Amino acid sequence: MIGKMRRILLGESYIPFMSPSFETRSESSAEMLKAPFQLESSKPSYMSSPINSSTDSGVHSEERFKRDSLQGGVSDTEEAATLLLLHSIPGGDISSVPEKVKSSLVKALDSRHPTANDWRAFASHLGMGNMVNHLRGFDSPSKVLLDQYELMDGTLAELRQVALGIERKDIVDILNNALNEINAN
């Protein structure tokens, strides 16, 4: 189920299961439902396909990243090197981030930001904007958001890219520190 949700949120094609009784419907509705659902995605291609840790060692995402970097997807050499490192390290997934780093992220996202780029903007840019109304009811919406994103096999590189996109340098710094801690271990 999580794999299906991740593919849908990342804008990839998804063909739903059709029950045998489906054939009794009219042909036009059957054809319409057989077409894969396609969601618009503005993410670069190295972020738009899920990374399956059991089959992808990061090589494919590195190749996509290098291609996108050469095509202008990432302009700054230092940013490109950091993102490449985030994609290639084994601990690039959120589950490997120490709790103190997660709590720093939560604290930064839960607090109001002058440019209104708080957890709501973060959720929207992660493709989880549909959860904003639900998350408002929690004491710490960003903690729930990060937990859900972790269940979707989210990566530090994706979080960092979103933080750059919404111009939250404080969050980029927290994620860079997380990278340093992971590399130190």
> Residues 159, 101: contact at Cβ < 8 Å?
no
Domain boundary among the residues 63, 88, 113 is at: 88
| Mean per-residue pLDDT over the chain, rounded | 68
Q: Is the pLDDT of residue 131 over 70?
A: yes
Q: How far apart are alpha carbons 27 and 163 in whole angstroms?
A: 46
What pLDDT, on the 0 to 100 scale, is given for residue 107?
A: 92
Which residues form the domain of 46?
2-88
What pLDDT, on the 0 to 100 scale, is given for residue 67?
A: 53
Q: How confident is the model at residue 116 (pLDDT cuts 50, 70, 90)?
A: confident
Domain boundary among the residues 88, 104, 122 is at: 88
Q: Is the pLDDT of residue 99 over 60?
A: yes
Residues 107 and 66 in one domain: no
Q: Is the pLDDT of residue 47 over 70?
A: no
Average pLDDT score over residue span 68-94: 57
DSSP secondary-structure letter at 155?
Answer: B
| Residue 117's CATH number | 1.10.533.10
Q: Is the pLDDT of residue 36 over 50?
A: no
Burial class for 123, CB neighbours closer than 10 Å (0-12, 13-18, 19+): buried
Residues 26 and 54 in one domain: yes
Residues 145 and 110 in one domain: yes
Residues 115 and 171 in one domain: yes
> Residues 11, 39: contact at Cβ < 8 Å?
yes
What's the total number of domains in the chain?
2
38 vs 67, higher pLDDT: 67
Q: Is the pLDDT of residue 134 over 70?
A: yes
Domain boundary among the residues 88, 103, 135 is at: 88
Q: How far apart are alpha carbons 172 and 161 in whole angstroms?
A: 8
What digits encode the pLDDT tens for the residues 62-75? Answer: 555 555 545 545 45
> Encoding tokens for residue 144?
């729930």
Residues 32 and 70 in one domain: yes
Residues 47 and 105 in one domain: no
Beta bridge partners, 14, equal 37
